[in-house]
Amino acid sequence: MKILIVIAHPEPKSFNAAMYQEAIKTLEENGHEVQTSDLYRMNFNPVSDRENFTTVKNTAYFSQQAEERFAYEDNGFAEDILAEQDKVLWCDLMIWQFPLWWFSVPAILKGWVDKVFAMGKFYDNGRIYNNGLLKGKKALLSITTGGPEKNYITAKYGSTDQILHPIQTGILEFVGFSVLPSEIYFSIERIKDDERKEILERWSNRLKYIFTEPSITDDKY
């Protein structure tokens, strides 16, 4: 199968980076094709504006959706965005590896979504959720947190399901992805080396059988 792994972490020696490298190693060893987008190493620009496009529909007023649709029809996406779109269209499974920052994805990953998930190409009027243009593909969030697991069962924080709903349902399912249960590890800065090794082993074992897993999307629609 074909897997795209997108990582959003500024430190190449981080545990997120270790999870990312373990995923590449395991998937390739099991015969899968892997492409990657290491957003910080790529110096990916998350700012969305006219630089997204080589075409212009309206010089007087910038409407991103209108420009996206026009670019889709006229092959007018900037080269860096087109390359990322091609990776998403290529993959059977997309994995996002990131630390949970302010109850969401890092800004660089949100900017990647804003620029890459373009109207016309990835969604359109009525072509969302079960009718999404990326239907048939799977997505998986692999996440680390700074806080302990006990924080995420309180009314103050909200559950991880509540926190991840805008990402899983508002982004991934919106364009048609079937979402697999998230891989979440808490208080990652406070765990010991032997615990980290155990986590990497569990992550590797899960990935060996990832294409047999049911999605959390299946019973929703």
pLDDT tens sequence across 35-63: 999 999 999 999 999 999 999 999 999 99
Cβ partners under 8 Å of residue 94, min gap 6: 3, 4, 5, 6, 88, 137, 138, 139, 140, 177
Q: Where residue 1 falls among pLDDT bands split at 50, 70, 90?
A: very high
Distances in Å between the alpha carbon of 27 and those of 139, 140, 155, 202, 207?
15, 14, 38, 14, 7
Distances in Å between the alpha carbon of 199 and those of 83, 159, 160, 185, 195?
32, 21, 19, 8, 6
Q: What is the mean pLDDT of residues 164-189?
A: 95
* Residues 14, 118: Cα–Cα separation, whole Å: 31
Residue 176, pLDDT above cutoff 90: yes
Residue 155, pLDDT above cutoff 80: no
Amino acid at 95: I
Half-sphere exposure in the Cβ direction for 184 (13 Å, CA)? 16
Residue 138, pLDDT above cutoff 80: yes
Lowest average pLDDT, out of 18-32, 117-131, 149-163, goes to 149-163
* Residues 186, 100: Cα–Cα separation, whole Å: 10
Q: What is the mean pLDDT of residues 58-71?
A: 97
pLDDT tens digit sequence for 184-207: 999 988 889 899 999 999 999 999
Q: What is the pLDDT of residue 191?
A: 87
Q: What is the DSSP letter of 77?
A: B
Could you count the other beta carbons within 10 Å of the beta carbon of residue 152?
Answer: 19
Q: What is the mean pLDDT of residues 158-172?
A: 93
Residue 218, pLDDT above cutoff 70: no
* Residues 80, 144: Cα–Cα separation, whole Å: 28
CA 77 distance to own-chain centroid:
20
Instruction: State the residue for tokens 């199968």.
Output: 1
* Residues 137, 178: Cα–Cα separation, whole Å: 6
Residue 219, pLDDT above cutoff 70: no
Residue 156, pLDDT above cutoff 90: no
| Interaxial angle between packed helices 15-29 and 193-208, expressed in degrees from 0 to 180 and rounded to the nearest 10 | 30
Q: What is the pLDDT of residue 154?
A: 75
Backbone angles phi, psi at 43, to 5 degrees: 55, 45
Q: What is the pLDDT of residue 140?
A: 98
Q: What is the pLDDT of residue 220?
A: 66
Q: What is the pLDDT of residue 158?
A: 84
Q: What is the mean pLDDT of residues 115-129?
A: 95
Cβ atoms of 55 and 74 within 8 Å: the answer is yes
Q: What is the pLDDT of residue 95?
A: 98
Q: What is the pLDDT of residue 118?
A: 97
Q: What is the mean pLDDT of residues 209-218?
A: 88
Q: What is the pTM of this model?
A: 0.95
Amino acid at 70: F
Tokens of 78: 């900037």
Mean of the per-residue pLDDT values of the chain = 94
Q: Where residue 221 falls among pLDDT bands split at 50, 70, 90?
A: low
